[in-house]
Structure 1
Amino acid sequence: MDFESLVKHISTIQNTLQAQAAHAVNLALTSRNWLMGCYIVEFEQHGEDRAAYGEQLLKKLEQRLKTKGLNERRFREFRRLYLVYPQLKEPISQYIASQIQIRQSLTAEFTEPIRRLVTAESENGVWKLSTEHPQTETWMIPADRLFNRLSSTHLNTISGIENPVKRAFYEMETMRGCWSVKELERQIASLYYERSGLSKNKEALSALVQQQATLLQPKDVINTPVTLEFLGLNERALVTENDLEQSILDNLQRFLLELLCKGLHNISYANKFIMQSDLN
């Protein structure tokens, strides 16, 4: 093995395991978000004291938990994620079952609701959303692909789309091009779905979009506020070298402007003083 081979092997190990770590974090985050949404819907529909909270439930939940990253807005997103993607129950239940440490740490009080809510044994109507439109199953993306191929942020963004066909379009295109979340948001904002529908050559348009797209990187999964909050890390970790450079330039620009303004003010004052002296 020569030096170049060593460099290649080290680089491969770094990139492969970094991607694996990002994937592991993402699976846990997606599972957390979906399960929280599941429990919220379950409580709203069947909670013993749900009438006491009503529309204030999510706000009260935020106030009671006092956990960074778990606020009313996020709870709404988690609930929406669960309602839009009830089919994720299968891959998430398999994921939970495969995590030995998770199983061992869960108490009986917690595992029973998980078993009842996350497995197909539930008969309380929570899962009815997954079978209300059987005609759509032929084009729906398999749940295991959604769970394993899309990040929690991708799923959160796409779940905000009401049209199920449009959702499936962006799911497929995101997986096909391995888009970053910013790229997904950009394509939604540019009406890519609508443009594709009007295009005579859809394949050519898709190829052009994918060629120009920004690809997802492992750091894009980890280096987000949601992930950092989930891991209990300080958001200052989000500061990149480019951010630091831009901050320095912004502060330097502000300093120079203040200095220039003060200089002009002093010059103006001096000229006024000289003119008054001449008049005297």
Structure 2
Amino acid sequence: MTKKSVETINKSFVLDIRGIIEQSRRNAVRSVDFCRVQMYWNIGRRIQVEEQKGKKRADYGSFLLKNLSKELEPEYGSGFSVRQLEMCRRFYTLYPIANAVRSQLNWTQYRGLIKIDDPEKREYYELETINNAWTSRELERQIHSQLYERLLMSSDTPQEVIKDPMVLEFLGLERNPEYYERDLETAIINHLQRFLLELGNGFAFIARQRRILLEDDLARR
């Protein structure tokens, strides 16, 4: 192929090929991540089955994980520590049905989810992570900010929500009962992208200040 013919290749064609390559790479990563999740789920299931054999011994579970880790770590590394094996067991306990394990989530995200005892709360963060394509770090931050609890407090006024210690910490403001509106506005604008993420779905930045006309306002015109 001559230099001239290379230069005349359709740019959109090249972009299409690049898109195929990038998508395939992303699919490969997701495939590997899910295989890892399935591996830990199966390990958790097998551990629980084995524990049932020694259930008459109060310390059998601890004994089993400790010795299993000793067998696995030298060959497979720190990913099979006692702590990790405990997570595998809890993972299977919380997700005993294989089909309930979602391929869109990786193991790091599941590690964050299985720390949540409340099943409804856990499911909320699980679905939000998938719907909003949260990374593991974003999921951790949302859980730490108590997004679920704040959404349940539907009786809270805007003033109460904005004084939430987690929100104030996020905005970089000290706890002070007498905030001026301009202080909050400046802090919110400075942290806009992260602030909207903390509040969840249904928010969009249109302008620093914008008058909103309601149906009653239009009727009076």
Give the deviation of 1:148 after TM superposition. 1.8
Q: Secondary structure at the match of 2:48?
A: helix
Give the Cα–Cα distance (whole angstroms) in 1 for the partners of residues 59 and 118 of structure 2.
34
Give the Cα–Cα distance (whole angstroms) in 2 for the partners of residues 7 and 23 of structure 1.
24
Contact 1:158 1:167 in 2 (8 A): yes
Q: Is 1:191–2:191 an aligned residue pair?
A: no
Matches within 5 A, 1:206-221: 206-207=200-201
What stretches of structure 1 of length at least 5 have no aligned partner? 92-142, 213-280
Aligned to 1:85: 95
Q: Is 1:151–2:145 an aligned residue pair?
A: no
Q: Per chain length, whose mean CA-contact separation is higher, i.e. which structure has more relative contact order (CA < 8 Å, sep 6+)?
A: 1
What stretches of structure 2 of length at least 5 have no aligned partner? 1-7, 159-196, 206-221
Q: Is 1:23–2:23 an aligned residue pair?
A: no
Distance 1:34 1:54, change over 3 A: closer
Give the deviation of 1:53 after TM superposition. 4.6
Give the deviation of 1:57 after TM superposition. 1.7
Aligned to 1:167: 122
Contact 2:34 2:105 in 1 (8 A): no
Aligned to 1:35: 42
Q: Which of 4, 7, 11 is the equivalent residue of 1:4?
A: 11
Give the deviation of 1:166 after TM superposition. 0.4
Q: Secondary structure at the match of 1:149?
A: coil
Contact 2:54 2:60 in 1 (8 A): no
Superposition RMSD in Å = 2.8
Distance 1:55 1:48, change over 3 A: closer
Matches within 5 A, 1:98-247: 143=100, 146-199=101-154, 205-207=199-201
Give the Cα–Cα distance (whole angstroms) in 2 for the partners of residues 162 and 52 of structure 1.
23
Larger radius of gyration: 1
Contact 2:44 2:89 in 1 (8 A): yes
Distance 1:166 1:48, change over 3 A: closer
Q: Which of 74, 86, 110 is the equivalent residue of 2:84?
A: 74
Contact 1:37 1:81 in 2 (8 A): yes
Contact 1:84 1:159 in 2 (8 A): yes
The farther-off stretch of 162-171 and 22-31 is 22-31
- Which structure 1 residue ranges, 4+ long, deviate > 3 Å from structure 2? 47-54
Distance 1:52 1:150, change over 3 A: closer
Give the Cα–Cα distance (whole angstroms) in 2 for the partners of residues 54 and 27 of structure 1.
27
Give the Cα–Cα distance (whole angstroms) in 2 for the partners of residues 208 and 10 of structure 1.
35
Q: Deviations over 1:229-273 (max 9, x none)?
A: xxxxxxxxxxxxxxxxxxxxxxxxxxxxxxxxxxxxxxxxxxxxx
| 1:70 alignment partner AA | F
Identity %, equivalent residues: 34
Give the deviation of 1:63 after TM superposition. 0.9
- Length-normalised TM-score, structure 2: 0.62
Give the Cα–Cα distance (whole angstroms) in 1 for the partners of residues 55 and 95 of structure 2.
25
How many residues were matched structurally? 154
- Length-normalised TM-score, structure 1: 0.49
Contact 1:80 1:159 in 2 (8 A): yes
Contact 1:158 1:170 in 2 (8 A): yes
Distance 1:83 1:12, change over 3 A: same
Give the deviation of 1:23 after TM superposition. 1.6
Give the Cα–Cα distance (whole angstroms) in 2 for the partners of residues 36 and 159 of structure 1.
15
Distance 1:167 1:71, change over 3 A: same
Contact 1:43 1:50 in 2 (8 A): no
Distance 1:16 1:173, change over 3 A: same
